Copies of this chain bind each other. A is one copy, B any other.
Amino acid sequence: MITVDDVRAAARRIEGRVVRTPLVPAPVRDPRRPWWIKPENLQPTGAFKLRGATNALATVDGRPGVVTHSSGNHARALAFASNLAGMKATIVMPSNSDPAKIAAVRALGAAVELVPPDQREQAATALAAERGLVLIPPYDDHAVIAGQGTIGLEICADLPDVDAVLVPIGGGGLISGIAVAIKALRPNAKVIGVEPELAGDAAESLRRGERTAWDLRRARRTMADGLRAMVLGELTWPHIHRYVDAIITVTEDEITEAIRAMATQFRQVAEPSGAVSAAGYLFHGDELPAGRTVTVLSGGNIAPETLAGILSSRPGG
């Protein structure tokens, strides 16, 4: 497992290459739980993934380039970080990816390899072996986990008496890194994962005390496309098992309402996966501890028409 020293080393490596996001007071809802938001949608690629990708890339040395498999925020992050570092990146994407996402990755100078959706992981591994590239996985990697953990250091620096941190959970890279940092610096603070009910494998895993896989067909039904991982990572799971206090689940309607609240009351564009933590705060207070609460707004890459639809529909309707 990684330690807070790994996270500190990551913070030194990524300084000046990612945005040092502020901690912003949110409109207080529940006087027992003053609320702050960590807006990672401010990263140039629109999501926290830039931290882990930048840290992992900084440890690569003397190799012809890097490769990964992702159709989402990690793809964009690795393309951006590689471009900045002057390194060649190859991104394996499923052939049914959104053309806009493929174009965005290519615009950042990365090479894109399209493969059938169920072959992307093995295709990336094969490319790494054939071409001598370094594989940088989206979450199940110690350098990636340490990079995401820098969010936890910044939360403790800005709010030393934080009581609870709510973090979206998919493959588990973000919450693993944050939990390591928070538990080292503020052991009494609770670290709580939030995931969609429809992709509730992490909540079930923590309840049962063992990694538990869910059927992808079920997870695919959530609008939170960044949180559809079927199972926690082999490397993230031990961190989650040891450091995460609880995992709660939110409904699709709650995610929609949280996206609306982020835009209308907080002036931030949130993607569904980024808004689950606010949904947890807004609708699941009875499952949360009292005290100063931070929700990590992990990203803001949402289709404009989806956001327009949410803003023009009636609240609660």
- The distance in angstroms between the C-alpha atoms of A26 and B45, with both chains bound, is 9
CB distance from A257 to the nearest CB of B (A): 13
- Is A46 interfacial (CB-CB < 8 Å)? yes
B19 touches A264 (CB 8 A): no
Q: Does A300 lie at the interface of the complex (its beta carbon under 8 Å from any beta carbon of B)?
A: yes
- Asked whether any CB of chain B lies closer than 8 Å to the CB of A41, the reply is yes
Contacts of A46 in B (CB 8 A): 267
What CA separation (Å) do A267 and B301 show in the bound complex? 7
Residue ID in chain B nearest A270 by CB atoms: B267
Partner among B20, B26, B268 whose Cβ is within 8 Å of the Cβ of A267:
B268
A307 to B308, CA, bound (A): 7
Chain B residues positioned under 8 Å from A156 (CB to CB) = none
A187 within 8 A of partner (CB): no
Q: How many residues of chain A get a CB closer than 8 Å to chain B's CBs?
A: 28
Interface residues of A in 16-49 (CB under 8 A from B): 19-22, 24-27, 39, 41-42, 44, 46
A307 partner residues in chain B, CB cutoff 8 A: 263, 308, 311
17 A-B contacts (beta carbon < 8 Å): A19-B24, A20-B22, A24-B42, A24-B44, A26-B44, A42-B268, A263-B269, A263-B304, A263-B307, A268-B268, A304-B312, A307-B308, A307-B311, A308-B309, A308-B312, A309-B312, A312-B312
The 7 closest A-B pairs by CB, nearest first: A267-B300, A308-B311, A308-B312, A267-B269, A41-B267, A304-B311, A264-B304
| Further contacts, 16 of them, CB under 8 A, given A19-B22, A22-B22, A312-B312 | A19-B24, A24-B42, A24-B44, A25-B44, A42-B267, A260-B304, A263-B269, A263-B304, A267-B269, A267-B300, A267-B301, A304-B312, A305-B312, A307-B308, A308-B312, A311-B311
Write the residues of chain A forming the contact surface with B, with a CB cutoff of 8 angstroms.
19-22, 24-27, 39, 41-42, 44, 46, 260, 263-264, 267-269, 300-301, 304-305, 307-309, 311-312
